[in-house]
Amino acid sequence: MRSYDLTICQPNGAVGLERTRFFPRQLIGPDDLTQDQIYFRDKLRRHNRFLHGWGVVCGAEVRLGQKDCEIVVAPGYILGPYGDEIMIDSEVTVNLCREGLDGNAVSPCGDALDPWCSDVRVNRQAGQRLYVAVKYAECQSRPQRIQANGCGCNEAECEYSRIRDSFAIKLLTSLPSGYSDPMPRPSTRGTINCPTNANGEPQARACPDCPTEPWVILADVVLGGEGTIETIDCFRHRRYVAAFGNYYFLCERDRVVGIRGDILIDKTAEMAGVSSANVLVAARRPDRSTVYIPAHFTVQPGETYATFLKREGGRELYDPVLKTSFTLGELYAVVGANPTAPIHSVADAITPLEGMTLRLHELRTTHVALTEVLDLSGTERLMADFANAPAAAGSLSAIAIRGIGPRSTLGQKLANMTIAEVAATNREAFIASALEGVSARQKTAVENQAGEVWNNAQRVVGISRNWQ
C-alpha cells in the first residue's frame, strides 16, 4: 500500500496542527500567542492543497511592457503548491534583463540594498525559452521600539510587529517540478468517479503528492536579440484551478414550451411581451429524428447576426431526448451563420436553423481542437467575427496562431496574411520568406518558430475542412 506525506509540506519551524490550550495561572510567551495563527494557517493550506489543488485561479495575465525587456503582470489570484493564497493586487513591471541580490525576483517586500550587486544588466540568449513564475512570500512591517531590558534606558532596538502576505515574481530558466513540456491534460477520472485497478475493481483514491517547489508558472517568454521579446505565451504551461467564483444558479421556474420529446425546452425565455413566442423551427438530431427549436427572441431594426447573438446567443436550450443543454449561439455556430449579414425579421433569424442537424458534440470537440492551436485573441476573434463557426477559422489573421506575438519579428511579417494563406504556401518558401532580413543571431529561433506556425496553420485548415 502506498504511503503519503499528509503534513503541510512546507516546514514552518513549529508544530502546525496543534492549538493552544490556555489554563489559569499559565505563563504565556510569544510561541503560545502565535501557535493558533500557525494552526489555522496550516489548516487552510491543507484544505487548499487537498480540495482545490494549485495554480492560477483568475487574472495574472502577462503582457509586453513599455520598454525593451519589460513585461507587466496584471493583478490576479493564485493558489501556491503548498496551499498558500497569492494575491497580486496591482500591476507589476518586471525587467527580464536585470538581476539583483535575489536573482531577478520582483516583490513588494523589496530586496536588500547593495551598491555593487543590485540592478545588474544580464545578457540573455536569443531564442531561449524562459518562464515567468510567482510564489508566496511574506513581508515584515510596522517596526516598533523595544522596551529596554532591566534598568537600562536604551530603546534604540526595533522589532517588526506585523507580517504581511505578499509574493515574489521571478524568471526561471527551467520548469519547476510539477510541470512538463508538453503539459498533460488532467483527467477527471477519480474526481467524481471511483478509481479502479487493472481488473476494474474499485480502489482507494490517491492523495496528492507533496510538492517540492513553491513556483507557479504564469507565462512562457522567448527573448529576441538586443532586449526584444519575441513571444509571450500565457497558456503553454499555465495550470488553472477549477473555480466557481462566477457561477450561480437561479430558483426561477424553467419556461417549458412543450413537454413532448420532439420539442426543446427553452430554459431562459421570458414569455411576457415576446411577439415570436409561438414560432418553432424544425431541425434534426444526429439520429435523424425531428426536433423543434422554440424561437423565443425578437429582432431589432438594423441588426446583424453579430449583434443578435451578442444579445441572445447565451439563451439556453435543453433537449429531453439527448439529455443535454446548449446555447442558441452554438446552434448558429453549427450552421456557420455570417455575423455581418443583416437580419430584418424573425424569419431571417430562424432561416439558417431550419433543417439543421444538432452536431453539438462535434462542435465542442472541434472547438477544443482549435484552442490547442489558436491563442486567446484568436478564439475571441472567431467568436466576434465569425459567430464561432469552425469552418471560418482559416479566415483568421495568421497572428492568431498560438505562440506568435504581434510585435515579434515573425508576427509583423504575418500581420497581413490569413491562416489559410499560410497553409496554402509551400513550407520551404514560407520559412525562407520568414527569414528574410533576420539577423544570424535570430535565424535559428525564427526558423523553428516559422516551421511550427506553418504546421499549426495546416492543423487549423484541416480542422475547418473536416467540419465542412
Pair 398, 273 in one domain? no
Pair 162, 67 in one domain? yes
Q: Which phi and psi angles does 229 have, rounded to 5°?
A: -110, 115
Q: At what angle do helices 328-335 and 360-371 cross, to 10 degrees?
A: 80
Joined grid coordinates for residue 432: 525562407
Residue showing cell 413566442 = 277
Select from 310, 326, 358 the last residue of a domain. 358
Residue 348 maps to a domain:
yes
Between CA 201 and CA 370 the distance in angstroms is: 36
Pair 25, 118 in one domain? no
Q: Could you tell me the pLDDT band of residue 135, with boundaries at 50, 70 and 90?
A: very high
Pair 272, 418 in one domain? no
Q: Are 454 and 430 in contact (CB under 8 A)?
A: yes
**28 pLDDT more than 70:** yes
Residue 454 maps to a domain:
yes
Between CA 307 and CA 305 the distance in angstroms is: 6
Beta-carbon neighbour count of residue 444 at 10 Å?
Answer: 12
**231 pLDDT more than 80:** yes
In the three-class reduction of DSSP (H, G, I as helix; E, B as strand; rest coil), residue 386 is classed as helix
Q: Taking Cα atoms as reference points, which of 352, 396, 405 lies closest to residue 370?
A: 396
Residue 8 maps to a domain:
no
Residue 10 maps to a domain:
no
Pair 340, 447 in one domain? no
**Adjacency order of strands within the sheet including 316-319:** 265-266, 316-319, 324-327
Pair 70, 173 in one domain? yes
Pair 302, 430 in one domain? no
Residue 189 maps to a domain:
no
List, for residues 345-358, the tens digit of each pLDDT value.
888 888 888 888 98
Total domains in the chain come to: 4
In the three-class reduction of DSSP (H, G, I as helix; E, B as strand; rest coil), residue 326 is classed as strand
Q: Are 387 and 305 in contact (CB under 8 A)?
A: yes
Residue 335 maps to a domain:
yes
Boundaries of domain holding 281 = 265-358
Rg of the chain taking only CA atoms, in angstroms: 29
Pair 227, 310 in one domain? no
List, for residues 271-324, the tens digit of each pLDDT value.
333 334 457 788 888 888 888 888 777 788 888 888 888 888 888 888 888 888
Joined grid coordinates for residue 290: 425531428
Average pLDDT on 214-225 reads: 89
Sign of CA dihedral 163, 169, 175, 178: positive
Pair 99, 136 in one domain? yes
